[in-house]
């Protein structure tokens, strides 16, 4: 797993969030991303995941069923959202007020965005 640290952010928190997001994806989908990196600024934490699709999803996408894969991913994102939010709240020490999640299929990249109720310690809201 490649956890790239953002030199402008808090490396340990970034790595912990990346690990948690990949773990939760693996628990729900049977595999996690092969690359993940998280960074934060103010009250926003972003996790970028690469190589997220399962073999079954790749097969469907390769056979023109991208809409079905997108629908299935949206259903899983909804199902995972509580666990993702709970873990980010535990790690950050802040309440998540909004959670956004989306996937892109070519290239295979996903983004998980957490908006916190206040900036992380030592950061301003900008």
- Please give the CATH topology (third level) of the domain spanning 2-116: 3.30.980
In the block, tokens 């009250």 appear at: 43
Residue of 49, 46, 16, 45 lying closest to 34 (CA atoms): 49
Alpha helices in 50-104 (DSSP H): 55-62, 66-92
Sign of CA dihedral 56, 47, 12, 7: positive
Is 0.75 surpassed by the pTM of this model?
yes
How many angstroms separate the CA atoms of 100 and 117, rounded? 15
10 CB contacts (<8 Å, ≥6 apart)? 40, 120
Give the per-residue pLDDT at 30.
Answer: 92
Sign of CA dihedral 59, 62, 65, 66: positive
Give the per-residue pLDDT at 2.
Answer: 39
Give the per-residue pLDDT at 122.
Answer: 73
Instruction: Locate the domains of the chain by residue range.
Output: 2-116
Residue of 13, 28, 10 lying closest to 110 (CA atoms): 28
Give the per-residue pLDDT at 8.
Answer: 43
Positions in the chain short of pLDDT 70: 1-10, 123-126
């Amino acid at each position: 797993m490649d956890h790239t640290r953002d030199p402008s952010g808090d490396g340990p928190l970034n790595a912990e969030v990346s690990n948690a997001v990949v773990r939760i994806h693996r628990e729900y989908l049977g595999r996690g991303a092969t690359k993940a990196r998280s960074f934060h600024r103010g009250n926003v934490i972003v996790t970028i995941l690469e190589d997220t699709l399962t073999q079954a999803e790749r097969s469907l996408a390769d056979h023109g069923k991208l809409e079905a894969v997108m629908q299935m991913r949206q259903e899983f994102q909804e199902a995972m959202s509580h666990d993702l939010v709970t873990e980010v709240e535990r790690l950050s020490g802040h309440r998540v007020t909004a959670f956004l999640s989306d996937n892109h299929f070519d290239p295979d990249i996903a983004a998980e965005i957490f908006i916190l109720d206040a900036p992380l310690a030592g950061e301003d809201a900008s």
